[in-house]
Chains A and B, each alone.
Chain A
Amino acid sequence: DGGITQSPKYLFRKEGQNVTLSCEQNLNHDAMYWYRQDPGQGLRLIYYSQIVNDFQKGDIAEGYSVSREKKESFPLTVTSAQKNPTAFYLCASSMKGDTEAFFGQGTRLTVV
């Protein structure tokens, strides 16, 4: 089946640790995005990439890092510098930047 796969579905992290969230798509989409969703704040853009080996910061990039070594993969690392990492993280992709975007099922990260 074609789609976007995020893993894991739930993730627990101790304070001070880095964690990496996985996002894989087999839709042959060029663009990929990471969003963070908090109650009452909607989706906020962390990073996006429109082509392999290139990515841009979104509105809340501090404390996060990404890579785009392959077209189908766009992992997000939540570093210890992110002060409030507990949130629901969503990955999306689109064929080109000017078409509709499709989402994965999300990863819920909790800092314990």
Chain B
Amino acid sequence: QKEVEQDPGPLSVPEGAIVSLNCTYSNSAFQYFMWYRQYSRKGPELLMYTYSSGNKEDGRFTAQVDKSSKYISLFIRDSQPSDSATYLCAMRINTDKLIFGTGTRLQVFP
């Protein structure tokens, strides 16, 4: 079993839809959680960073962490064609290495 599981998609939605992207993990010691957006042939760009459980909002993006269920989510409101990319979740234990999900490919069509 992988430490971090993420549905690879692709997830295809119309412009304006609310998108929900999710990751599950097996190690309850993970404390730091990140979401990255990666456009084709580019490096990942940090979108959201959260510590422990709870919600964090930044513009159209909301990150949720549920440590009791070992489940994290990224919600995108009013999705735009420019949001079309691969979204990667990542997490770590204290100062240890950063572990990534495989990424979910999102397509937002006009």
State the A residues within 8 Å of B (CB). 4, 6, 31, 33, 35, 40-43, 45, 48, 50, 56, 58, 88, 90, 92, 96-106, 108
Provided the pairs A97-B95, A97-B96 are in contact, do residues A42 and B88 lie with their beta carbons within 8 angstroms? yes
Instruction: State the majority secondary structure of interface residues on A.
Output: strand
Contact call B44/A103, Cβ cutoff below 8 A: yes
Contact call B97/A100, Cβ cutoff below 8 A: no
Provided the pairs A41-B102, A101-B46, A106-B42 are in contact, do residues A58 and B88 lie with their beta carbons within 8 angstroms? no
Q: What's the tally of chain B residues with a CB closer than 8 Å to chain A?
A: 26
Q: Which residue of A lies closest to B8 (CB)?
A: A40
State the B residues within 8 Å of A (CB). 6, 8, 31-32, 34, 36, 41-46, 49, 88, 90, 92, 94-103
Identify A103's interface contact among B45, B102, B103, CB under 8 A: B45
Q: Which residue of B lies closest to A45 (CB)?
A: B97
With A33-B97, A48-B97 known, 12 other A-B pairs at CB within 8 A are A4-B43, A6-B43, A42-B88, A42-B101, A42-B103, A90-B43, A96-B95, A97-B94, A97-B96, A101-B46, A103-B43, A104-B43
| Alpha-carbon separation in the docked complex, A101 to B90 (Å) | 10
**Shortest CB–CB separation between residue B29 and chain A, in angstroms?**
13
Contact call A42/B94, Cβ cutoff below 8 A: no
Identify B41's interface contact among A41, A100, A106, CB under 8 A: A106
Contact call B98/A101, Cβ cutoff below 8 A: yes
